Amino acid sequence: MPNTVTLKSSPALFLEMDIKSFVLDSPDNRLKELDDSPYYEEPMVGFADGDDPLFLEYRTIIADFHLTPREALSRYLASELNIEAPPGGPISVISIALPIARETRLSNRRMTRGPSLKWNHVRWHGQSFTDELARRVVSQLQEQGYRAVAPDLTDMVEVVDLPNGRCSNWSQRHIAYAAGLGTFGLSDGFITPRGIATWFTSIVTDMKLRPTHRPYASHVANCPFLVEGTCGMCAARCPAGAITAQGHDKIKCRAMLYAGQKQWLEKPGYLGRYAGCGLCLTGVPCESRIPGKVSKRFIP
């Protein structure tokens, strides 16, 4: 990293470069119990204004209990530091998208009923590395005198059961959308320039960061099926039949994760509360890129 780039002088550039360097160089970004290949490839980093009106819209789009970034930081300060957040002032969100490494994606492409062993390990051990990354960014910001929190690492984030399935009060995919990192697909997955086989984390801070431009015309601009009715390969890949032309059935999907693929956890080496699936994220045109024109419709 050039000596002229610091968190104070060029905050957004410093954070992006540092996050990418850490992910690529960290020995913890490795499938140590398997073949020592990486969990993730070079990440993407986006920034959003924490007072962007989109975050209030999420209370209608997602649920009325979805947190705004300012609320997330205020709750953290009140519960952890016993201080009240000052009214107004800068508020920013850092969203990090971590593309799952090619070797793992290739292994999962070959699967039809449940995930590969490598995919399963990335789902659980990779999450631990994602949390480590978020803690590191928070620590860096705090050491420079800024207030910062990774909401997913606190008890303020909740998952609520709604009639149409489970819903979080801090949606990483919606945070990534606000930060200019991509758009949604038919499967409810999030299609970034590096594809849909991606994991996410985010940090809220009172550092002022220039928002990343959202380079898309709509929230589904990267999905061929939702734009022009072609593709739908994710539906053909889903072993639960949870993806149709009408969208993603969260209840069917969850049933497959916890019941339909329960036997996967009995296989040697598999771990976690559920196997991880991810079949709709691999073996599809959007696996590792924004797909170009797809001529065929794969949904029956």
pLDDT digits (tens, 9 = 90+) for 58-80: 999 999 999 999 999 999 999 88
Residues contacting residue 295 through CB under 8 Å, at least 6 positions apart: 230
Q: Residue 226: what pLDDT? A: 97
Could you identify the residue written with the tokens 């995930």?
Answer: 115
Residues contacting residue 212 through CB under 8 Å, at least 6 positions apart: 46, 47, 48, 179, 180, 181
Q: Residue 7: what pLDDT? A: 86
Q: Is the pLDDT of residue 181 over 90?
A: yes
First-last CA distance in the chain? 51
Side by side, which strands form the sheet with 148-149?
A: 44-49, 92-99, 198-205, 148-149
Q: Is the pLDDT of residue 287 over 90?
A: yes
Q: Is the pLDDT of residue 107 over 60?
A: yes
Q: Residue 83: what pLDDT? A: 85
- Residue 210 CA to residue 31 CA, distance in Å, equals 35
Query: For the chain, how many residues are written?
Result: 300
Average pLDDT over residues 37-53: 98
- Residue 147 CA to residue 90 CA, distance in Å, equals 11
- Residue 207 CA to residue 12 CA, distance in Å, equals 10
Q: Residue 8: what pLDDT? A: 83
Residue with the bigger pLDDT between 80 and 215: it is 215
Query: Are residues 43 and 19 in contact, defined by beta-carbon separation less than 8 angstroms?
Result: yes
Beta bridge partners of 168: 159
Q: What is the pTM of this model?
A: 0.96
Confidence class of residue 128 from pLDDT cuts 50, 70 and 90?
Answer: very high
Continuous H helices in 26-151: 54-61, 69-76, 102-109, 117-143
- Give the chain's mean pLDDT: 95
- Residue 215 CA to residue 298 CA, distance in Å, equals 28
Q: Residue 242: what pLDDT? A: 98
Average pLDDT over residues 126-136: 97
